[in-house]
């Protein structure tokens, strides 16, 4: 008995250290400046431009990820073929790749002197310093989060359900749209939440590949970096905005999944646990 109490105390101590370590920096952000100054700081033209660029670029990137990523994930989840493990590994690689490496890789591929840069330029497509460069960078680093979760979500759909639909005469496209997709939905949304959060936070690849052009490629995280040297309070205000935004995304997803937890056929990354 005594041994177990001692052990529990040890676990609680470890948890205390974890919570304090993770919470202190976040709390510190909010105590550095008076909170009532934040709205006026966020009214700065730099912040407004950065917010616009971030939201626009992420909207397009997320649309691309969902539209192309969903069928790709479905293919990988439902078909077995030679080299599948290799493809899955390739898809997962950007997850563990340092973002700076992603930025250099983008430059090497699509930069003006890069592998495809010349051909792209001749076709009239110049990516550096344009919003498309941000979209490309965000898509590259964020897509794997959705794809990985999407594959897992489709794989965990009980195979007897699509089979049943097929025996009832549904074609493969109909099975995908009416059976697999709804059943995998909560897992897909979880993956999308991760991808969205990663995209909003994207920094390394963007600053290397897309440049820092206000109103075009300067996202919120790039604005933080620039304002750090110019106006620390503005950098703080943007950081607070991003903390609130991230917490909002996480919380709304948790509430959503708790509310519609009636069909838990696929794993959820952050289900509310009681």
Give whichever of 104 and 170 is closer to other proteins, judged by the CB atom: 104
Piece of 112-120, 177-185, 249-257, 265-273 that binds other proteins (CB under 8 A) = 112-120
By CB under 8 A, tell whether 162 contacts other proteins: no
Tokens linked to 215:
């109103």
By CB under 8 A, tell whether 101 contacts other proteins: no
Give whichever of 7 and 270 is closer to other proteins, judged by the CB atom: 7
Shortest separation between residue 120's beta carbon and other proteins, angstroms:
12
Judge residue 249's burial from the number of C-beta atoms within 10 Å of its C-beta, 0-12 exposed, 13-18 middle, 19 or more buried: middle
Q: List the one residue out of 199, 192, 194 whose CA is nearest residue 57.
A: 199
By CB under 8 A, tell whether 186 contacts other proteins: no
By CB under 8 A, tell whether 4 contacts other proteins: no
Task: State the DSSP string of 189-227.
Answer: HHHHHHHHHHHHH--HHHHHHT---TTTT--HHHHHHHH
Sole residue written with tokens 């069909």? 263
Letters for 59-98 (x = contact with other proteins by CB under 8 A, - = none) are ----------------------------------------
Is residue 230 a contact partner of residue 88, using CB atoms and an 8 Å limit? no
Shortest separation between residue 61's beta carbon and other proteins, angstroms:
20
Kindly report the number of other CB atoms within 10 A of residue 23's CB atom: 10
Q: List the one residue out of 210, 204, 189 whose CA is nearest residue 264.
A: 189
Residues that bind other proteins (CB under 8 A): 7, 107, 111-113, 117, 121, 126, 128-130, 209, 211-214, 216-218, 225-226, 228-230, 232
């Amino acid at each position: 008995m005594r041994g177990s109490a001692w052990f529990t105390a040890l676990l609680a101590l470890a948890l205390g250290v974890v919570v304090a370590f993770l919470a202190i920096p976040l709390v510190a952000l909010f105590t550095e400046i008076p909170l009532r100054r934040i709205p006026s700081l966020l009214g700065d033209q730099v912040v407004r431009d950065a917010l616009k660029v971030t939201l626009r670029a992420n909207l397009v990137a997320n649309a691309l990820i969902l539209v192309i990523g969903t069928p790709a994930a479905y293919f990988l989840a439902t078909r077995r073929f030679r080299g599948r493990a290799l493809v899955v590994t390739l898809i997962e690689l950007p997850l563990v790749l340092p973002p700076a490496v992603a930025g250099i890789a983008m430059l090497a591929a699509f930069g003006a002197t890069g592998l495809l840069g010349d051909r792209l330029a001749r076709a009239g497509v110049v990516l550096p310093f344009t919003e498309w460069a941000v979209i490309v960078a965000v898509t590259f680093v964020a897509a794997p989060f959705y794809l990985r979760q999407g594959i897992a979500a489709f794989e965990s759909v009980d195979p007897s359900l699509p089979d049943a639909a097929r025996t009832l005469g549904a074609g493969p496209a109909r099975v995908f749209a009416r059976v697999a997709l709804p059943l995998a939905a909560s897992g897909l949304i979880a993956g999308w939440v991760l991808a969205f959060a990663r995209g909003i936070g994207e920094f390394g690849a963007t600053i290397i590949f897309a440049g820092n052009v206000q109103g075009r490629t300067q996202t919120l995280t790039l604005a933080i970096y620039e304002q750090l040297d110019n106006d620390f309070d503005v950098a703080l205000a943007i950081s607070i905005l991003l903390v609130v935004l991230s917490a909002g995304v996480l919380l709304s997803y948790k509430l959503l999944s708790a509310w519609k937890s009636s069909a838990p056929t696929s794993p959820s990354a952050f289900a509310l646990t009681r």
